[in-house]
Chain A
Amino acid sequence: GAVVSQHPSWVICKSGTSVKIECRSLDFQATTMFWYRQFPKQSLMLMATSNEGSKATYEQGVEKDKFLINHASLTLSTLTVTSAHPEDSSFYICSARGQGASYEQYFGPGTRLTVT
């Protein structure tokens, strides 16, 4: 149980285009989803926290207009990188936390974005 999927697993796009990444909790309802970004050989940095039905909370320094997050249902959150640039190339990982007191987050397999 507690499986989180991401789609696509990798994507290459041209500079200036937008890319949407989906994060789904397959066998549980995720009240909270988190989006992390990981640059090569670096750690994971939290970008934003999204709760179902409400606006996402962005970390300091993360542009909310550039990284649009929608958590429309208890099983799906999307991250849209708008007007992507080469510096947005990174590994994007989502995690989902279910209902209840458990603080464990279940991570998706990640999406590797390359902007040319």
Chain B
Amino acid sequence: AQKVTQAQTEISVVEKEDVTLDCVYETRDTTYYLFWYKQPPSGELVFLIRRNSFDEQNEISGRYSWNFQKSTSSFNFTITASQVVDSAVYFCALSGRRGGSEKLVFGKGTKLTVNP
């Protein structure tokens, strides 16, 4: 069975601090995809990144960066110099190819609050 664990339920930081959101996953698939989504108070999910299991290169996009390590089954997300607008719930998700369903399994989410 596939599982995503986001151990941090809530994180509170002060603006300009760096913050890392942890994500650990479990899957038996050799080919799988990992995702991060942002859900602001409005509720709409905002896609941030997709990474496939064969690509372990870290990625940086502006203030966002992702660290994918298959050896520890982790896909952590770091926000550098956080801003108040980063306040949201962040979900890590996993999709495999078993059965071709490609359904997403979400972690429980981490609520990030960035205080001014």
A97 to B103, CA, bound (A): 10
Q: Which residues of B contact A105 (CB under 8 A)?
A: 102, 104
Q: Return B76 CB to nearest CB of chain A, in Å.
A: 18
Q: Judging by beta carbons under 8 Å apart, are B102 and A32 in contact? A: yes
Question: At the interface, is chain A mostly helix, strand, loop or mixed?
Answer: strand
B interface residues, how many (CB within 8 angstroms)? 19
Q: Judging by beta carbons under 8 Å apart, are B101 and A49 in contact? A: yes
Q: Judging by beta carbons under 8 Å apart, are B104 and A34 in contact? A: yes
| Number of cross-chain contacts by CB at 8 Å | 47
A43 within 8 A of B: yes
Contacts A44-B106, A103-B50, A103-B95 given; indicate if A93 touches B45 (C-beta within 8 A).
yes
A106 to B104, CA, bound (A): 12
- Which residues of A52-81 have CB atoms within 8 Å of chain B's CB atoms? 57
Which residue on chain A has the smallest CB distance to residue B89? A41
Q: Judging by beta carbons under 8 Å apart, are A104 and B50 in contact? A: yes
Q: Judging by beta carbons under 8 Å apart, are A49 and B103 in contact? A: yes
Q: Which residues of A contact B47 (CB under 8 A)?
A: 104, 106-107
| Interface bits A72-109 vs B (CB < 8 Å: 1, else 0) | 00000000000000000001010101000001111111
A49 to B104, CA, bound (A): 11
Q: Return A46 CB to nearest CB of chain B, in Å.
A: 5
A24 within 8 A of B: no
- Which residues of A5-57 have CB atoms within 8 Å of chain B's CB atoms? 32, 34, 42-46, 49, 57
B33 within 8 A of A: yes
Nearest first, the 4 closest Cβ-Cβ pairs linking A and B are: A107-B45, A109-B44, A43-B108, A110-B43
Q: List chain B positions with a Cβ less than 8 A from chain A.
A: 33, 37, 42-45, 47, 50, 91, 95, 101-109
* CB pairs A–B below 8 angstroms (24 shown): A32-B102, A34-B103, A42-B109, A43-B91, A43-B108, A43-B109, A44-B106, A45-B106, A46-B103, A46-B104, A46-B105, A57-B101, A91-B43, A93-B43, A93-B45, A95-B104, A97-B102, A103-B50, A104-B50, A105-B102, A107-B45, A109-B42, A110-B44, A112-B43
